[in-house]
Amino acid sequence: MRAVVFDWAGTVVDFGSRAPAMTFVETFSAQGVPVTEAEARAPMGLPKRDHIRTIGMMARVAEAWREIHGSAFDESAVDRLYEAFTPRQVMAVRANADVIAGVVSVVDALRRRGIRIGSTTGYPRIVMAAITDLVASQGFVPDAMVCADDLPVTRPTPLGMWRCLIELGVWPAWSAVKVDDTVPGLLEGRDAGAWTVGILASGNAAGLTHAEWDALDDRGRQEVRDRSSAALARARPDFTIDTVADLLPVIDEIGHRLWCGERPGG
């Protein structure tokens, strides 16, 4: 095992992936077209411009847009929303930049094993620039970071993952792990040829704050796991865990499987 590549919101920061979800809701509402939190979360993991386009093309939202604005939802609408979205997103990510419990200790343990730490994100670089110092002050500093606008095309294609591995100097891809809470982010890793680990409790599919997760009993937590597992099933992750705090035993298992000659995606 040579590298672990982490997603950001819902994986290493922002328990429940609140910042992007609520910013999409606010941005569409400001244009007179309310969207639900579920609609806002459905495309999560895509680059944010693609995410806006996907929400706007949903049948109900597209119909509401035409009714309010008198025209079809098109690329000019995407441009208008993205321009309004970005400053809102910067404020939201700064307000939700707490590193999720267990991340720093797990990353430290991985580095002691000689494992490189990478990251990819659906956020553009201007948004990430607003939080990297805040997150670094809490102890999370990846060796490489690939943002949504660093390449012409990123998630769900493997290109961002490959770019990250190139920056880390890591190959082959099956010696790396992608940890993510969304389908596009997991597909990015799977199609790159890496192992994939889906996040069930702290991510977008659960959509809970840390306090809400802590308040659940065992049955409630299992219901969240089941719901999140179903949401991530299309990406066929090799493993699932509640949060990054649970990652090290999975890394051990992957190491054993590699020693036995297994490869990801089986």
> Which is the catalytic residue, given 14, 48, 191, 242?
48
Q: Is 7 a catalytic residue?
A: yes
List strands edge to edge, sheet with 3-6.
144-146, 116-120, 3-6, 176-180, 195-199, 239-241
d(CA 33, CA 26): 10
**156: Cβ–Cβ under 8 A, 6 or more apart, which residues?**
45, 46, 183, 184, 185, 187, 188, 191
178 is catalytic: no
Q: Which of 7, 150, 238, 242 is catalytic?
A: 7
Query: Rounded to an integer, what distance in angstroms lies between the CA atom of residue 154 and that of residue 164?
Result: 11
Alpha carbon distances (Å) from 246 to 169, 226, 264: 26, 17, 19
Report how far residue 186's alpha carbon sits from residue 178's, in angstroms, rounded to the nearest whole number. Answer: 7
Structural contact between residues 120 and 166, judged by C-beta atoms closer than 8 angstroms: no
* Positions marked active-site: 7, 48
